[in-house]
Amino acid sequence: MGSISNGIPSWEERAEDKRRRILSQVPAAFIHKELTHTLEHSASVQEVPSKYLSPLELEITALDAVALVSGVVSRRYTSVQVLNAFTHRAAIAHQLLNCCLDFPYHAALGRAKELDQILDGTGKTVGPLHGLPISVKDQCRLIGTETTCGFIYPLGQLDTDDAVIVKILKDAGTVIFAKTSLSIGCMWGETVNNILGRACNPYNRTFSCGGSSGGEGALVGFHGSPIGIGSDLGGSIRSPSAYQGLYGLRPTSGRIPYYRMLNSMEGQETIQSVVGPMATSAEAIELFTRTIVEAQPWMQDPGCVPISWNQTTLESFSSSRKLRIGVFEWDGICLPQPPIRNALKTVTKALKAAGHEIVPWKIDTKRAVELVLRVFRADSASDIHRQCAKSGEPPMESACDSPEPPKSLIEAWDLSMECKDFRAAVLRQWNETARDGLPPMDAYFAPVNPAVAPRHGDYSKVRYFAYTASVNILDYSACTLPVGFVDPKVDLADDSSLTVDAAGNALPPPTCERDESIRKRYDPAIYAGLPVTLQIVGRKYEEEKVIGIVKMITELLKST
């Protein structure tokens, strides 16, 4: 490892220094040196905390965000107790999963003590999230921390202002205690960067936690945080949520503030990145989203739309109201693996049994992906190269997948119009689901990805983000729906011919090399225990409806 001339540290030295500092603020009692994130075994690490956490810490970290706020407000727990419980569990998560980039513990502890003093002294809370610990993806600017977006160059530069989403969360009474890893520039579906390397899945460390918000997915999936803040440009909230069995909301752009976030391709607005929550319950997603919208973010972020929260809409869609729901089983290009096909059948059966109408649905994902990739490659990865050049770190090939030359301004405008035309076509298609005096379908459910979490090194072989990216280009509201876990006795592999399933039912033959690769790589014995997750998709600015439907289906699944 060398140094750049004039004594300036090399990018490798800066990365190594950052790795040393990540746990430096965490109490020594929370660090267990015998733990390692090396892949020495493939078993789930979900049971590891029981060996290190106290009974109270285990009790606290088992709760969702709604129960935690209630527990603090009722004074069953103090904010300090809750912070310490999650910091301890998050420190274990990082040692096992390599998922965090910062623990601003001293600032978080000071805030937790302040919140306890306010509640004890006045009997009043600071806001609706009083005492709730929250982790944020390391593109959320947080005063006093380094915000990297997965790059080396920001190391050593402390934020002097908060992202708007962070400011609102602080005002609501949260305690921001961890910042999580992400793919370099947020431009890959696995969480890998030159600072930390690769993050892992808590259900099986030899499998991917997804990306680009994979650090959040791993941490929240390990119950090291009750809510994580991720971002989604092509599926970066929903894929990690799917791989860890979480609820993750991808809102329409402008519903939740994005201003002052650090990102790559800043200024690209044809397909906008959005911020959203990742949590262990739909109720936590509701609490978070309602809190942010009721704070009137449009008064702080010029990109936010002034749409008030509509609790009546949410409750009407989470009740027994009969709905028309589309099912997007597959797009005719990449067939979902058996566990995901079974999940689609499970949800379809539950909805039909409850009296809801199922509407067949399909989007032209081939056209959607073509447009999305042309937008993402419009600068020929020059922005990624530019950010990497600031430190001398090598651009990761995965983030620079851009075989096309950069587009001119006129070409970019033309591409933007093509995207608008695609949105108009899908809008017409959705409206045409109306029939016999009935309104168009309320929402649809679909795979997040055609594959469950891939093994490390396999992502490029199963990468197919059409089911998520089609939502991004449409700018629709979407939320993941955990359905279960891979059961090797139920989720049997297809016949080796790939044209017949385990029950002898005919399957469409593979349509392409990627489709064949996705099908061949599924092995029920190896994939056993991994989460199986779908997504619920509504139209633009229908977050309340989508959350309500997710809550309704979650309850139906509990009774099946």
Separation between Cα atoms, residue 305 and residue 293, nearest integer Å = 10
Residues in Cβ contact with 513 at an 8 Å cutoff, skipping those fewer than 6 apart: none
Provide the 10 A C-beta neighbour count for residue 222: 27
> How many CA atoms lie less than 13 Å away from 393 in the CB half-sphere?
28
Model confidence at 35, pLDDT cuts 50, 70, 90, reads confident
Domains of the chain: total: 2
Q: In this structure, are 204 and 301 located in the same domain?
A: yes
Of residues 551 and 457, more confidence is placed in 551
Is the pLDDT at 343 greater than 90, yes or no? Answer: yes
How far lies 190's CA from each of 102, 212, 230, 545, in Å? 19, 6, 14, 30
Are 95 and 184 found together in one domain? yes
Q: Which of these ranges, 35-44, 65-74, 220-229, 262-271, has the smallest mean pLDDT?
A: 35-44
Picking from 309, 332, 350, the residue at the C-terminal end of a domain is: 309
Active site residue 349: no
Q: What is the torsional sign of CA 267, 272, 273, 276? A: positive
Q: Which residues, listed in sequence order, are joined to residue 192 by a DSSP beta bridge?
A: 198
On whether the CB atoms of residues 530 and 485 are closer than 8 A, the answer is yes
Q: Vertex 109, ends 212 and 209: CA angle to 5°?
A: 20
- Encode pLDDT of 160-211 as tens digits: 999 999 999 999 999 999 999 999 999 889 999 999 999 999 999 999 999 9
Dihedrals phi, psi of 500, to nearest 5 degrees = -140, 135
Average of per-residue pLDDT across 243-260: 99
- Give percent of the chain above pLDDT 90: 92
Which strand (E) or helix (H) includes residue 470? helix 466-474
CA pair distance 522, 439, nearest whole angstrom: 39
Q: For residue 188, is it within any domain?
A: yes
Query: Is 398 part of a structural domain of the chain?
Result: no
Residue 327 sits in a domain whose CATH number is 3.90.1300.10
User: What token pair was written down for 288?
Assistant: 């978070």
Single-letter amino acid, residue 155: L
Catalytic residue at 236? yes
Top-ranked range on mean pLDDT: pick from 28-37, 39-48, 157-166, 318-327:
157-166
Model confidence pLDDT, tens digit, residues 268-278? 999 999 999 99
Give the confidence band of 1 by pLDDT, cuts at 50, 70, 90. very low
CB-based contacts of 61, cutoff 8 Å, min separation 6: 49, 53, 85, 86, 89, 223, 224
Query: Could you tell me if 249 and 323 lie in one domain?
Result: no
Among 135, 236, 398, 517, the one annotated catalytic: 236
- On whether both 522 and 437 belong to a single domain, the answer is yes
Task: For the chain, give the mean pLDDT.
Answer: 96
What single DSSP character describes residue 23? Answer: T
Residue 134 φ/ψ, nearest 5 degrees = -135, 140
Distance CA 297, CA 300 (A): 5
> What's residue 310's pLDDT?
98
Q: Could you tell me the residue range of the domain that residue 332 belongs to?
A: 311-361+433-560
Q: Is residue 509 helix, strand or coil? A: coil
- Tell which residue, 161, 84, 164, has the closest CA to residue 116: 84
Cα 494 to the center of its chain, rounded Å: 29
Same domain, 351 and 481: yes
Task: Assign 560 a pLDDT band (cuts: 50, 70, 90).
Answer: confident
Q: Do residues 70 and 6 share a domain?
A: yes
Residue 372 near residue 473, CB atoms below 8 Å: yes
Tell me, yes or no, whether 318 and 176 share the same domain: no
Rg value, the chain, Cα: 23
Is 443 within the bounds of a domain? yes
> Do the domain assignments include residue 239?
yes
For the chain, the straight-line distance linking the first and the last C-alpha, in angstroms and rounded, comes to 57
User: Among 11-15, 379-383, 390-394, 427-431, whose mean pLDDT is lowest?
Assistant: 379-383
Tell me the C-alpha distance between 328 and 138, whole Å.
Answer: 33
Residue 38 is assigned to a structural domain of this protein: no
Say whether both 336 and 470 belong to one domain.
yes
Give me the pLDDT at residue 321, please: 85
Which DSSP state fits 328?
Answer: -
Instruction: Based on the fold, state whether residues 350 and 281 are members of the same structural domain.
Output: no
Q: What is the tens place of the pLDDT at every residue in 536-551?
A: 999 999 999 999 999 9
CA-nearest of 65, 66, 538 to 314 is: 538
Q: Given 135, 183, 208, 212, which residue is catalytic?
A: 212
Mean pLDDT of 99-113: 99
Do 122 and 172 lie in one domain? The reply is: yes
pLDDT at residue 43 in the model:
84
Q: How many CA atoms lie within 13 A of 505 on its CB side?
A: 7
269 and 319, same domain (yes or no)? no
Question: Which of 445, 407, 432 has its CA nearest to residue 553?
Answer: 445
DSSP assignment string, 169-230: HHHTT-EEEEEE---GGG-SSS-EETTTEE--BTTBTTB---SSSHHHHHHHHTTS-SEEEE
What's the pLDDT at 53? 98
Residue 407 has a pLDDT of: 93
219: confidence class by pLDDT, cuts 50, 70, 90: very high
DSSP E strand boundaries for 495-537:
531-537
Based on the fold, state whether residues 230 and 322 are members of the same structural domain: no
DSSP 133-179: EEEEETTB--TTSB--TT-STTTT-B-SS--HHHHHHHHTT-EEEEE
- Rounded distance between C-alpha atoms, residue 534 and residue 474, angstroms: 18
Least confident of 33-42, 371-380, 514-523: 33-42
Q: Is the pLDDT of residue 471 over 60?
A: yes
- Where do the H-state alpha helices sit in 318-357? 338-353
Question: Which of the four pLDDT bands, split at 50, 70 and 90, describes residue 233?
Answer: very high
Residue 368: inside a domain, yes or no?
no
107-139 confidence digits (pLDDT tens): 999 999 999 999 999 999 999 999 999 999 999
Q: Which of 137, 167, 179, 545 is catalytic?
A: 137
Which residue, among 310, 314, 319, has the nearest Cα to 479 in the 3D structure? 314
Give 382-398 pLDDT, tens digit per residue: 999 999 999 999 998 77
Structural domain contains residue 409: no
Let me know if residue 385 belongs to a domain.
no
